[in-house]
């Protein structure tokens, strides 16, 4: 088996057992592969070998990441490495978080399976690939792809724009993106040893992960590192402007008590303080301070999808998807924005959540005329989804269609089986694509309906990884063909046309720009 040193498997297993490296997650002797990055011992379970916590780089605070020399000896790869420090709860965290994970059914350089590399959500400030819902085992167990998941720097550690305050940190506004580029370079150079094809790398990501992908598609340093892309409920029409990004940096520094004329205290400050300061009020959006990629004219020199689709990204086949009731995922039906909702207070409750400047009373009147049987809650979730979460996808799909380049669009209608009020909410597609419908956090249920929807999504994503083409017609401005993923998946032309046309009356401004 090319890339696997069989003679070292038993010896490595004995060594690792003696060192206490083998635990419940390694029921079989470790499988050792040798790659340009070093030799790694992975855990074999149910026909899939996982290699967790593989280092792809190192980085100093606010500096661009650097590759690392090949590892010495045989590296145990049985456990996830720490995630980036953040406000969310994701287990162990550390600034030293540049690690990736690989799942493969055949760690053999001769098989050359397409690679599916996942970038997690959580906007640009939170999230991790240690989430059980994006575990790669079930997807790799199909046997037709190699799965990779990547952790990288987030929030102030990955996107705090310091370049206009201190030229030493010219890269600081896009460090999280540079981490991902370094990870993709690692995949290019090493994935063949795990059975992957470096010429067929598909990136896919949900929410913030999809937005990071839309940004990567237009970054010159990422050119040629991936060959298909799929964004799941996450788009990036415009990046943060450097002036707004600097305003946010100043607000963040003020929260820390650091003068913008001397940012040196940041270099040695405990990371816990830096995470706490993310509660600083955003001077542009309100709420917690936004962090995201910056139009710094060094690494990112134009917006991803404004004034049109970035020509660099147009060479990459793109699949774009959203869920039918996105905002059900982050606006709690039992929370203050929805509890006690009536026709009288609906406009005022809905207005800030739509994120576009449109008369909310008029929007409510239009919905009531169109859908007279709907409740205030139904209107609330539909309008906030169509005006806010769906608009970026529509903008990107339309831009690709106008450019005459391939794009395929899907919509997830499969709804929560544990809280039907949320509908097909934001993140619903993660367990369906990964096949983790039985894992903690999934709201799909495990019945035949969920299994059918999951199989349909997996089939579509794997086919796209293999060929760079989806299983349904391309999106164009005549038909707007859209795959509807549900218990019985099917194709519809221009679903939600009424909502699309309603909100097309006002421009879409990417939050955080």
Active site residues: 207, 326, 426
Task: Of 75, 212, 205, give the one whose Cα is nearest residue 153.
Answer: 212
Residue 159 burial class via C-beta count within 10 angstroms: exposed 0-12, middle 13-18, buried 19 and up: buried
Cα 430 to Cα 132, 135, 136, 437, 457: the distances in Å are: 10, 10, 11, 9, 10
- Catalogue the E-assigned strands of 287-357: 318-323
Could you tell me which residues come within 8 angstroms of residue 467 by beta carbon, excluding any fewer than 6 positions away?
none
Neighbours of 77 (CB within 10 A): 29
Is 13 in contact with 43 (CB distance < 8 Å)? no
Run of H or E residues at 74: strand 74-76
DSSP 389: I
User: What ranges in 323-447 are assigned the alpha helix state H?
Assistant: 346-354, 360-370, 376-384, 391-403, 429-434
Q: Which two tokens stand for residue 164?
A: 């206009």
CA distance 455 to 472: 16
Cα 495 to Cα 155, 251, 409, 411: the distances in Å are: 35, 42, 11, 9
C-alpha dihedral (375, 378, 381, 384), degrees to nearest 10 = -70
């Amino acid at each position: 088996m090319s890339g696997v040193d069989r003679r070292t498997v038993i010896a490595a297993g004995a060594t690792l057992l003696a060192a206490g490296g083998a635990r419940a997650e390694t029921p079989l002797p470790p499988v050792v592969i040798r790659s340009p990055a070093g030799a790694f011992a992975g855990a074999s379970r149910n026909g899939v070998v996982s290699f967790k916590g593989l280092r792809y780089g190192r980085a100093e605070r606010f500096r661009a990441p650097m590759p690392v020399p090949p590892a010495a000896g045989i590296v145990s790869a049985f456990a996830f490495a720490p995630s980036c420090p953040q406000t969310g709860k994701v287990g162990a965290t550390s600034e030293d978080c540049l690690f990736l994970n690989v799942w493969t059914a055949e760690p053999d350089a001769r098989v050359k399976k397409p690679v599916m590399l996942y970038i997690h959500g959580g906007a640009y400030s939170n999230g991790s690939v240690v989430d059980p819902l994006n575990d790669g085992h079930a997807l790799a167990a199909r046997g037709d792809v190699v799965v990779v998941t990547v952790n990288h720097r987030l929030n102030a550690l990955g996107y705090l724009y310091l370049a206009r305050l201190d030229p030493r940190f010219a890269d600081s506004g896009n460090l999280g993106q540079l981490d991902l580029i370094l990870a993709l370079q690692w995949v290019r150079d090493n994935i063949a040893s795990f059975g992957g094809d470096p010429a067929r790398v598909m990136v896919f990501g949900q929410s913030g992960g999809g937005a990071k992908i839309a940004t990567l598609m237009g970054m010159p340093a990422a050119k040629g590192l991936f060959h298909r892309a799929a964004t799941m409920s996450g788009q990036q029409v415009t990046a943060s402007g450097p002036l707004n990004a600097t305003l946010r940096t100043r607000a963040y520094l003020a929260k820390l008590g650091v003068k913008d004329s001397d940012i040196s205290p940041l270099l040695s400050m405990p990371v816990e303080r830096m995470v706490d300061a993310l509660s600083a009020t955003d001077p542009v959006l309100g709420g917690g301070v936004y962090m995201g990629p910056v139009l710094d004219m060094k690494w990112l020199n134009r917006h991803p999808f404004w004034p049109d689709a970035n020509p660099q990204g147009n060479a990459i086949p793109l699949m774009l998807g959203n869920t039918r009731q996105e905002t059900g995922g982050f606006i709690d039906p039992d929370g203050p924005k929805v509890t006690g909702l009536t026709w009288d207070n609906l406009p005022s409750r809905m207005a800030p959540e739509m994120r576009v400047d449109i008369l909310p009373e008029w929007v409510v009147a239009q919905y009531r005329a169109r859908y007279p049987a709907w409740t205030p809650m139904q209107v609330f979730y539909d309008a906030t989804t169509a005006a806010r979460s769906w608009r970026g996808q529509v903008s990107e799909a339309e831009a690709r269609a106008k450019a005459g380049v391939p794009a395929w669009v899907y919509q997830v209608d499969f709804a929560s089986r544990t809280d039907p009020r949320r509908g097909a909410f934001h993140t619903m597609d993660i367990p369906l694509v990964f096949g983790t419908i039985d894992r903690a956090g999934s709201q799909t249920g495990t019945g035949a309906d969920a299994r059918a929807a999951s199989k349909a999504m997996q089939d579509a994503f794997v086919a796209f990884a293999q060929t760079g083409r989806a299983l349904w017609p391309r999106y164009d401005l005549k038909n707007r063909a859209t795959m509807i993923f549900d218990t019985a998946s099917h194709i519809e032309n221009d679903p939600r046309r009424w909502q699309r046309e309603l909100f097309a009356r006002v421009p879409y401004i990417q939050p955080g720009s």
